[in-house]
Amino acid sequence: MAKPTKFLNDTLGEKIELLLKDGRVLIGVLIGYDDHMNLVLEDTTEETEDMLRRIGTIILRGNNVVTLNPI
């Protein structure tokens, strides 16, 4: 079985797409996480239909996450 934390661990160093509860989509390289699904991302960008904002390295609080997937 692919436990969520094991899958997170296998995804370290990879580019992921994050969908947040407020509808925003972030893209970045996953470089850290913890048991609450708090995440650390590098080279993060926020993408909307008409905008791309570069944010760099961020901490994202886990309770805002809906889904995350490698891209």
Q: Which of 22, 30, 32, 31 lies closest to 64 in space, CA to CA?
A: 22
Q: Give 25's contacts (C-beta < 8 A, 6+ positions apart).
A: 17, 18, 19, 46, 47, 48
Binding of a copy of itself by 48 (CB under 8 A): no
- Among residues 25, 32, 47, 53, the one that binds a copy of itself under rule CB under 8 A: 32
Length of the chain: 71
- Among residues 49, 51, 52, 69, the one that binds a copy of itself under rule CB under 8 A: 69
Binding of a copy of itself by 45 (CB under 8 A): no
- Catalog residues that contact a copy of itself under the rule CB under 8 A: 1-9, 12, 20-22, 26, 31-34, 37-40, 44, 55-71
